[in-house]
Structure 1
Amino acid sequence: MIRLSRCAWPGERGAAAGVRRPKAAYNRGMSRNGRIIVAMSGGVDSSVAACLLKEQGYECIGVFLRVGAAPAAATDESGTQSCEVPAAADAGAAPRPRLRHGCCSATDAIDARAVAGRLGIRFYALNFEADFERIIDYFVDEYAAARTPNPCVMCNVHLKFGKLLRYADAMDAEFIATGHYARIRRDAAGNATLARARNLAKDQSYVLFGVQRSALPRCVFPLGEFEDKRHVRALAAGLGLRVHDKPDSQEICFVPDNDYKELLRRRRPEALRAGDIRDTSGRVVGRHEGVANFTIGQRRSLGIALGRPVYVTSLNVVSNTVTIGERDDLLAGGLVAQRVNWLTDPPARGCDVATDIKIRHMHTPAAGRIRRRDDEAVEVRFDEPQSAVTPGQAAVFYQGEDCLGGGWIQEAR
């Protein structure tokens, strides 16, 4: 097996020309022993992250999080149950057929192991299936309550930067690294702040807002300084990694083909009760097969034809009613967020603070003001009304490139 001691950068060993190496956002001198846990999904991002860290001199331990049905398990040196991954071909071998899936399939596990072997680092597949069942339960329960869930945030909070941190402790590793596009900025005193990635189109700080502030100094995001995803793929290609052209995960890993309604039918059939579709005046214009089948802002698959575009504007699980309206009916001047997680010192209660607010992953942060209430909820007022403020999604607060924290949208106002 070929083992590479360092990554190929532009101009080195055939790496793609014209790719500028980003500055390192981590420092081996900060680690007590140079050991770091790298969450490897089998994709190009986490693979390149592992390579960058190894080049920095870290002792990398690659881990793959198994969240589906697992084979017979073994126990690694930390005492954590780990699953055997089928033997992998060399990372430079001809690729296997790609399965249309999320980030946690058996094919992904094999790809992750192959990359770890190519880099010459230890690799374990950890059985997180029982923990992940709780995230699936959260997902279907939120839809049953007429809220739109964000399981990626919950996975980051409870698994990648929750249970995996405890695994790092058991392995005597100070840091955890992932392939997320985000940055950790550290001041002279060593205080850590979550910041947006240089590549704003790929920035994933939104789904990291729930990480505990105390965990930030232990988080490493090597890809946060890259300004273009093509540079990451070029580095992977220069290494000869067959995952260099692997498509990005687009689906929720436990919802094949994005058919979450089938998951609801299997897990929460009682949530799919037929009811009325009404317009904003209260007139019945159709019937639906369950409020849980809809989300705020939805336009397609409404099951009605009114001769003009209409959108889901509100959902009421008590009356079992879906309300539709015009595009302008989706606009809201503000919202209330609860269960807020602060990643910096929180503002004083009752004081208005100017921030940018992001209300879903692909939303461009909108200027506005936030106010922390006595009950710890946060009221948001936008400078300009925003469309489709959706209960169940996160509202994340930014000042410049820094993420202040965020909370879960309770209601639009």
Structure 2
Amino acid sequence: MPLVVLAMSGGVDSSVAAHLLLEAGHQVIGVFMRHGEQSPAVCSTDEGPAPTGVGSLPIVNRLDHKQGCCTAADAEDARRVSDRLGIPFYALDLNEEFGQIMDYFAAEYARGRTPNPCVQCNNWIKFGKLFDYADSVGAKYVATGHYARIDSSGDEPALLRGIDQAKDQSYVLFGIKRRDLSRMLLPVGGFEKPKIRELAAGIGLNVAEKKDSQEICFVTSGRYDQFVRRRLEQNNSDAGGRAGELVTTDGRVVGRHNGIEGFTVGQRKGLGVALGERAFVVRIEPDTNRVVLGDRAALDSTQLTASGANWLVDVTPGEQRRCLAQIRYNAKPALAELTVLADNKLSVRFETPQFGVAPGQAVVCFEGERVLGGGWIE
């Protein structure tokens, strides 16, 4: 029976993934990855500071009421599921490693970009450190509860969209190393979410009706700008040097802001100024700290360039191909022409204008259901 290391978040998806792997005849080790900025309730109990060793995670609730993936309560849910299914369970302390995700998040906002920490977490931690752990225990496979699929029927494995289009998470997996696809298992990707909850209830898992994680796990206050400022201060960066002007696309100054980290391209609410008509963040200029506002039409783009490309298929610089390109996690894929560029870059030209193309977000290219690869929008 092949040994599988499964990332368990304490949610219903990874819990049912454990059940499905056991049914398929695998030996399963459940692993909870402790990481992220913990809310006050996570770090303390009535008896004092919470113990941090494996096997000693207390049951507490987050004071901010968010559904995250790094709390002690989530860890205890994962432990209960593991106990019920009869599989070993371990908690890995990755707080130090996860610091690079938080640093990346803060640095990108400080540069006027819109980061995607979930993609980087998958690249650096979930399918980085998890493979390291799998190798250390002699496991053949690594599995998660992502809604995506691995198709091994061809000459090499392919990453495909999940069956449930509303829950598909293939976008956030584009950065996986191509060589690792043959060792990945994604058990829930072939199901729709209601079926997963039904399976959880059918085998008596206490997480059957647990809400899905919705927020970035380390921003416990819900205010990205506050987190960014605090993180930059901790890193001795200039936390107060990004205040500047709010200007219109024609250069008219209409106000001031406290920091570009409080804005993202496409934002409409919380601009701090009333122009008498709907206004959006069109552009952020980190060199001048200007936030440029305009109407919705100013946010339509027909092309983009991306760097840091990761390909899950063979490509050649100069190659062009038709594809479906997705510019953010909740965006609808759009018909486009992909051009593979030198220096690990790519360009995408859309058939119809796309709203709110944001530097720092990922663009992911698909051929039908298959993920071709993607990169980071410049």
1:254 aligns with 2:218: yes
How many positions carry a matched residue from both structures?
Answer: 362
Contact 1:278 1:324 in 2 (8 A): yes
Amino acid of the structure 1 residue aligned with 2:257: H
Contact 1:85 1:109 in 2 (8 A): no
2:256 & 2:286 partners in 1: Cα distance? Answer: 14
Q: Compute the displacement of 1:85 (Å).
A: 3.4
CA deviations 1:52-71 (Å, max 9, x no partner) are 10111111000000015786
Aligned with residue 128 of structure 1, among 94, 115, 138:
94
Contact 1:85 1:125 in 2 (8 A): no
Aligned counterpart, 1:229? 193
Between 1:65-74 and 1:281-290, the stretch displaced more is 65-74
Of all paired residues, the percent bearing the same amino acid is 48
2:204 & 2:264 partners in 1: Cα distance? Answer: 43
Aligned with residue 187 of structure 1, among 153, 156, 164:
153
CA deviations 1:158-182 (Å, max 9, x no partner) are 1111111010011110101100000
1:195 & 1:349 partners in 2: Cα distance? Answer: 24
1:238 & 1:291 partners in 2: Cα distance? Answer: 49
Q: How does 1:11-410 map to 2 (within 5 A)?
A: 33-68=1-36, 83-86=54-57, 99-189=65-155, 191-226=156-191, 228-268=192-232, 270-272=238-240, 273-346=242-315, 348-410=316-378
1:96 & 1:400 partners in 2: Cα distance? Answer: 40
1:107 & 1:130 partners in 2: Cα distance? Answer: 20
Contact 2:307 2:346 in 1 (8 A): yes
Q: When the two structures are superposed, what TM-score results if normalisation uses the length of structure 1?
A: 0.84
Contact 2:279 2:295 in 1 (8 A): yes
2:243 & 2:138 partners in 1: Cα distance? Answer: 54
Contact 2:58 2:72 in 1 (8 A): no
Q: When the two structures are superposed, what TM-score results if normalisation uses the length of structure 2?
A: 0.92
Amino acid of the structure 2 residue aligned with 1:361: Y
Q: Which 5+ residue runs of structure 1 have no aligned equivalent?
A: 1-32, 75-82, 89-94
Contact 2:248 2:254 in 1 (8 A): yes
Q: Compute the displacement of 1:374 (Å).
A: 2.5
Contact 2:64 2:221 in 1 (8 A): no
Q: Compute the displacement of 1:286 (Å).
A: 1.0
Contact 1:233 1:244 in 2 (8 A): yes
C-alpha spacing 1:141/1:98, structure 2 compared with 1 (3 Å): closer
Amino acid of the structure 2 residue aligned with 1:153: V
Q: Which secondary structure does the structure 1 equivalent of 2:207 belong to?
A: helix
2:348 & 2:197 partners in 1: Cα distance? Answer: 39
Q: Which secondary structure does the structure 2 equivalent of 1:85 belong to?
A: coil
2:256 & 2:196 partners in 1: Cα distance? Answer: 48
Q: Compute the displacement of 1:103 (Å).
A: 1.1
Amino acid of the structure 2 residue aligned with 1:203: D
1:323 & 1:368 partners in 2: Cα distance? Answer: 27
Give the CA RMSD over aligned residues.
2.0
Contact 1:101 1:256 in 2 (8 A): no
1:250 & 1:325 partners in 2: Cα distance? Answer: 29
Amino acid of the structure 1 residue aligned with 2:57: P
Q: Compute the displacement of 1:274 (Å).
A: 2.1
